[in-house]
A and B are shown apart, each in its own frame.
Chain A
């Protein structure tokens, strides 16, 4: 082994604790990177595998003559095409009425496009008429298994079907009726696969054209195939990425992707700074030795390399161990995720580029952290060897200023002055505080914002307790007569495509009385407005999707034809991007339906299950959605996020402690003489450690304002990556959240008293005193 290598190894062993702290931060950064970037790749691969296996169509077109649309796509170069019937009829499942969905499938054989994976029971048998395969989410919500029966409502009344199987579908990995219903009461939606002849007989002809491109998962909004479909009369063409399930999952994946880059970056930055501080200190201490080497003719390049080698060793250690742990965590993260979401295929792979870049990141951080100290070392003047110890520097203006603060206890004055004594150390500590604040605030901010958004949506905006769909027999008066019902309003709900300048957006139009009690129209500035007598209000998401602003004209396209309306206002609604209009405006734009909708308000303190039973028992009530059940469901789902936040806060703590530990250890080394003198004078270890941790706490406090700003920006940035037409999140937290985060980081820094005491106790007073004598 070369002598420089041996020296480096020995040096690293001597400052084991600091090396470990730096290596652990690098390790964490690399590990999180490998685990999350790998999981991101794996999740994408898992989804795509399912999409390919179950032949997810590239496009689903509606409107026009779907057979003509499909054959136009075929002629224009599609790889496969088909048509199917899909309707959303009322259903009665296990005593619950809801608006479900039926999809026609060829009996006996899976379709060429849009196949399903039967996980329990069997597929529809050839020639069957009243068999059904239930989508897995509905099966578990309602406890359905093969052999159970349920009712489906068609124009001619209720029909009974028998469940023969339970299946997973690529279109419902995340079960949602439409993009607007990404989060909904699970009891309000169910997908049934019925024989196609049955669907055609009960509900109507095929109304969807399914198209697969040669390269299935490559969709573009403008190509020969989509143009041909357009020309053949399709009114809406949805690419696979925009399908409700895919869009929701992509939102989620995008956020995941952001974090898989941002969090490792935080750790690696911290690790770089920590290793910089540590090596700078070592080189400062070794200046006389380096100078002696230089005086003896050592080459600058060699000295540079000797110190770079130490950074390289730490970086390699952290990188390699981080990659190993990350590769293990990758599989666990991927599987946890796919099983939590019920993704049928789980692909776990450790990609070579991921392993390689993990190691490279570790090594780079180690090298970069060592670069400046090593350069400084290689520039040491041989003359520096002649001065045994660096001469005392005269006090700066800051020290002189603090010296005048006589009212302040001396230990506090000392801490204040030490802040300016080693700017490098102070800045490193501040940076540790900033990074921890970013980690904590970003995670907490995402959480509190989501909770706030939900509360805004379900407590402030949506006032109704339930939405009821009625098909004759029951009217508003009958609903109002139910015990516990306070108010009933007729509403209008229907699917529309809003078009402006050639772009279209498929969403839901909701009509209310202009003096409605059921919905609060919240504007972006926090004030509320009322429905205009003509024209529409829309969620702010629409402004981005269609590039429109208040006052612009929009065309609402439905089967009933086109209606031109003016956009009268944009609403700040966290969930979905809906259109709202006065009842008669909405009714005019939508096709005549057979089902009437009502929103219902309950009296205080009613039992919601009883209300569901009583209202669905009414003659003609075909669907019922408990609006507040959504909040409960969502809050359960957010449990996952809490776990994530917990992990991030813990990591933020580790990060803060690791950086502080290094700066503190360096602090002790730098001031060994002073500390030994204080201890020789009989100052207890506890008090000596206190002076060091006070300095740490002060430097941390200095970093907090920057941390608050950076954390707020980071949190807002993360949220904007989650925001789209599906969710609109604006950073929100209670006033005390940043203060609590700051207090937490301060407490963490005050805990530095513990390692400080250990370090101080380890200072061998007698030896320091002897080394200082000659």
Chain B
């Protein structure tokens, strides 16, 4: 993609980020001081057991949840003090989300699921809907409804939808969680390819096999980063197995 200019800031910087749900005795400390820097164009896999705070971290990076304390600078924008309601513009310009259960609109065809984002965000400077579907390998199923698509195909539509706003950073929370091995592998391949085109990609998962494609693996345990290790030789998604 030609718009991938080297000058674009696609980095993530979290400094001393904490997140507490509830108050007093009922308070849950989901994040207890996260310091993390992700460089432009990096592919990071966040690993950790269920309930460790992965999703919370991912949501804070994506601006759908705000940190209780700490600094959050995404793609050069400091969003620490913005409330979630004020973050729609930020998300539209910088991030794309991919969810475990796809969250497609069942009444819309694959094409329309992508189109609706363009129509409602008013963004049309990116690639055309057909190009986006082509990019995720679904050009031939553009007019199918979600119910007529397999899980993997639905997740491809979700990826195309995330790409519709031409995001700098792709956030995928358990993208393979609802898929079988071969399909999951294809989706990882897709994410890897998008990363190679220059986007920063963060994949959140409890599946350690996925970590093999990462440039760097961040392990979260009980709301804190336990380790952040550079993967000297990231594997090709096609070679991953679990």
Contacts and interface: CB of A to CB of B under 8 A. Distances in A.
A691 B108 CA distance: 13
A683 interface: yes
Nearest to B65: A766
Given A673-B103, A677-B99, 6 more contacts: A394-B147, A410-B112, A684-B88, A769-B59, A772-B100, A773-B55
Interface in A267-303: none
B174 interface: yes
B101 A773 contact: yes
Contacts of B177: 773-774
B103 A392 contact: no
A683 B148 contact: no
B107 A773 contact: no
Contact of B108 (A417, A765, A766, A769): A417
Contacts of B121: 681-684, 687
Nearest to A678: B120
B139 to A, nearest CB: 16
A773 B99 CA distance: 7
- Find the residue from B85, B93, B145 having the highest chain A CB count within 10 A: B145
Nearest to B129: A410
A682 B97 CA distance: 10
20 contacts: A394-B147, A395-B106, A399-B145, A410-B108, A413-B112, A421-B107, A674-B103, A678-B120, A681-B162, A682-B91, A683-B117, A683-B120, A683-B121, A685-B85, A688-B120, A761-B85, A765-B64, A769-B59, A770-B59, A772-B101
A393 to B, nearest CB: 6
Nearest to B59: A766
A680 B117 CA distance: 11
A303 B98 CA distance: 38
Given A680-B64, A682-B88, A418 B147 contact: no
B70 interface: no
Contacts of B56: 766
Given A417-B107, A676-B103, A773-B55, A691 B120 contact: yes
Nearest to B84: A765
Nearest to B54: A773
A773 B145 contact: no
Nearest to A677: B103
A395 B147 contact: yes
B117 A395 contact: no
Interface in B154-193: 161-162, 164-165, 173-174, 177
A531 to B, nearest CB: 69
Interface string B112-127: 1001110111000000
A418 B105 CA distance: 10
A409 interface: yes
Contacts of A410: 108, 112, 115-116, 119
Contacts of B85: 685, 761
Nearest to B105: A674
Given A674-B105, A682-B91, A766-B65, A392 B146 contact: yes
B223 interface: no
B147 A414 contact: no
B109 A403 contact: yes
Contacts of B55: 769-770, 773
A411 interface: yes
Nearest 6 pairs of A and B residues by beta carbon: A682-B92, A682-B91, A392-B147, A766-B65, A677-B103, A395-B145
Contacts of B107: 395, 399, 414, 417-418, 421
B88 A683 contact: yes
Nearest to B144: A395
Contacts of A688: 120
A679 interface: yes
A82 B88 CA distance: 88
Contacts of B112: 403, 410, 413-414
A391 B101 CA distance: 12
Nearest to A402: B107
A769 B173 contact: yes
Contacts of B173: 769, 773
Contacts of B148: 394-395
B80 to A, nearest CB: 16
B84 A394 contact: no
A681 B93 contact: no
Contacts of A673: 103
B236 interface: no
Interface string B47-68: 0000000011001001011000
A418 B85 CA distance: 26
B145 to A, nearest CB: 4
B101 A411 contact: no
Interface string B134-155: 0000000001011110000000
A769 B101 CA distance: 9
Interface in B183-225: none
Nearest to B62: A680
Contacts of B120: 411, 678, 683-684, 687-688, 691
Contacts of A677: 97, 99, 103, 105
Contacts of B232: none
Interface in A397-433: 399, 403, 409-411, 413-414, 417-418, 421
Nearest to B94: A682
Interface in A19-54: none
B41 interface: no
Nearest to A400: B145
Interface string A211-229: 0000000000000000000
A414 B108 contact: yes
A405 to B, nearest CB: 11
B22 interface: no
- Find the residue from B107, B115, B120 having the highest chain A CB count within 10 A: B107
B24 interface: no
A687 B100 CA distance: 25
A22 B100 CA distance: 37
A409 B56 CA distance: 35
Interface in A717-774: 761, 765-766, 769-770, 772-774
Contacts of A682: 88-93, 95, 121, 165
